[in-house]
Amino acid sequence: MMSFVWIFYICMIGAQAMANRGFRSYPTKVKIYEHESVLLPCYVEDQGAQTRVRWWREEILLADSFEQELQSSERITLYSNGSLRVHHVQREDSGEYVCQAIRPSPWGHVTQVHEIEVMYSPSVKTIPASGELEINLGETVDMQCVTKGVPAPVISWRTKDGEIPLLDVRPQLRFHADNRNLSGRYTCVATNGVGDPAVAHIDLRIRYKPEIYVKKPWVHAYPGIRVQLECTVTAFPEAKVEWYFKNETMKYTSRIVKHNVGNDHSLLIRNVKATDYGSYLCGASNSLGITEKIVELSELANPAIFKKESRSTSGTSYNFIWEVDSYSPIIEYQFWFRKYRRGGGGEWHKLYIPGDSDAVSPVHTRSFNLTGLDTATHYEAVVLSRNRYGWSHPSEILRFHTEGAPINSNENFKLDGDEEQNKVAVIQLASMSQHYPLATDANGSAYNRVTVLSLILSSLCILIITNGNRY
């Protein structure tokens, strides 16, 4: 084994000696910055013969020691010892330089090769060249940055959220546009340790059909007041937004006015009339499709909203506080509750609670203490409100528990996947209950409090008998 290593070493030295035969200099590779100067050696062994030195680059004669006037450039200088100086090097000066030493017989001529690598700071161009890219939602994004620079630049990608974590350095960025929020500016940064990094931008815009968000899909209004229906529309390309009522495009007047500021679109109705009540359609369209959302204008009360001040008052009771927006007094409430079980609860129980028919404010606040609950148990509840025009839609489901129950931080005011199923069941029960109106006076508007209290007591008795002192 040692013999083989020595043979290999001797062969390498022999090859180098052959490459340098007749020279006292050695092949070099010079790395240098732009605008500096470099000296390439070509020291020929002195054997008492006149030597002619020529320098070549890519078969172009740069200089000849016998013909000084043939120098190819003012930036080239050939010295008497055969060395070549290149002044103020440019990027195009990179490459191999061949020194040829020519001597008479019997020596002949020999060559030696040197190399210059001119280092310069990076530059970058984008593909597409415009720096702008538009695609449809769901398509593949393909963007690229082409760089120049010596040494070869290293590329990284960034967005407004910071650097994109890639497994390797790549000039091409390719991904699936499955989310319109991927739109934005993508920046590629090229660095090579020479000068400042080069930066280029590609602005990605993802085309998608309109999306509509309605903060208040149910708007309560009293005859004679002013009301505003609102929807927020996002789309690219920009959407055309129109309002519809009873399957017809709205006819705008001095009383009914259409407004928009940015993505926010509204329909202003002054001096609401009975004929204005109903379903209004906010419709948005662009080249990719049409989207519609309904906003209901009604004299019915807005759905009740449970307040965060609602809390457990004992191991078997819970105090609820809710608010209702209604310009007309609230005559009564339906309070629905049941034990909560993930995937489906138990049977709903319903109580009627008197309203505040004498209230003047359009905001109605009600407190109700529910007793007789099981200790350490989870429940859920819903409230409906009735004014002179009828029953409201149910409130959002409130999940609550009595003292001692395991606490889930997402319990109150946030629901799991069975919310919609539960809500549908409540709406169905509520709509069925409305076929059996409670007692009213001759005008059908005043609430008989005695009857309500009787019904509540009856409900309590039935629940106690059925469930063994439990609701």
Tens digit of pLDDT for each residue in 69-128?
Answer: 777 788 999 998 999 999 999 999 999 999 999 888 777 788 999 999 999 999 999 999
138, 246: one domain: no
User: Distance (Å, rounded) from C-alpha 71 to C-alpha 98?
Assistant: 15
Residues 194 and 225 in one domain: no
Which domain covers residue 160, as residue numbers? Answer: 128-209
Q: Does any domain span residue 58?
A: yes
For residue 431, being part of any structural domain is answered with no
For the CA atoms of 294, 299, 303, 308, what is the dihedral angle to 10 degrees? 120
Element (H, E) at 344: none
- Please tell me whether residues 155 and 258 are part of one structural domain: no
CB–CB of 416/342 below 8 Å? Answer: yes
320 and 294 housed in the same domain: no
The residue type found at 104 is P
Distance of CA 406 to the CA centre of its chain: 35
pLDDT at 416: 47
What is the C-alpha radius of gyration for the chain, rounded to an integer number of angstroms? 43
**Count of beta carbons in the 10 Å neighbourhood of residue 276:** 17
Do 219 and 326 meet the contact criterion of CB atoms below 8 Å apart? Answer: no
Q: Confirm whether 169 is domain-assigned.
A: yes
Sheet holding 76-78, edge to edge: 38-40, 84-86, 76-78
Which residue did the predictor score with more confidence, 368 or 439? 368
Residues 65 and 97 in one domain: yes
pLDDT one-digit tens code per residue, 234-256: 999 999 999 999 999 999 999 99
Inform me whether the pLDDT recorded for 457 exceeds 60: no
pLDDT for res 438 = 32
Tens of pLDDT, residues 325-378: 998 899 999 999 999 988 777 899 999 999 987 777 889 999 999 999 999 999
Number of domains into which the chain is organized? 4
The span from the CA of 297 to the CA of 245, in Å, is 11
- Give the ranges where 259-409 is alpha helix by DSSP (H): none
Identify the helix (H) or strand (E) that includes residue 212: strand 198-213
| Separation CA 299–CA 278 (nearest Å) | 9
Upper half-sphere CA count for residue 382 (Cβ side, 13 Å): 27
C-alpha 97/C-alpha 54 separation (Å) is 10
Residues 143 and 187 in one domain: yes
Any domain includes 400: yes
Q: How far is CA 267 from the centre of its chain?
A: 30
User: Do residues 136 and 120 make contact, with C-beta atoms less than 8 angstroms apart?
Assistant: no
Domain termination residue (choose one: 173, 188, 209): 209
Q: The tokens 């004299």 sit on which residue?
A: 299
Q: Would you state the pLDDT for residue 319?
A: 97
Say if 240 falls within a structural domain.
Answer: yes
The residue from 298, 319, 353 where one domain ends is 298
190 contacts 126 by C-beta, under 8 angstroms: no
CATH code, 142: 2.60.40.10
Both 147 and 167 in a single domain?
yes
Asked whether residue 403 is assigned to any structural domain, the reply reads yes
Look at the pTM and tell me if it is higher than 0.85.
Answer: no
Residue 192: per-residue pLDDT? 94
At residue 423, the pLDDT reads: 55
> Same domain, yes or no, for 246 and 156?
no
103 and 141 within one domain: no
Question: How far is 220 from 214, CA to CA, in rounded Å?
Answer: 15
pLDDT for position 360: 77
134 in the same domain as 96: no
* Whole-number pLDDT of residue 426: 56
Name, in order, each residue with C-beta under 8 angstroms of 45's C-beta and a sequence gap of 6 or more.
22, 23, 24
> Is 323 in the same domain as 342?
yes
Residue 232 Cα distances to 210, 215, 265, 341, angstroms: 10, 8, 6, 36
234 with 260, same domain: the answer is yes
Mean pLDDT in residue range 390-418: 75
Q: Which of 57, 91, 118 is the last residue of a domain?
A: 118
Give pLDDT tens digits for 192-235: 999 999 999 999 999 999 999 999 998 999 899 999 999 999 99
pLDDT (0 to 100) of residue 120? 94
User: In angstroms, rounded to a whole number, what is the distance separating the alpha carbons of residues 213 and 231?
Assistant: 6
Range among 17-26, 57-66, 135-144, 425-434 with highest mean pLDDT value: 135-144
- 418 in any annotated domain: yes
Let me know if residue 432 belongs to a domain.
Answer: no
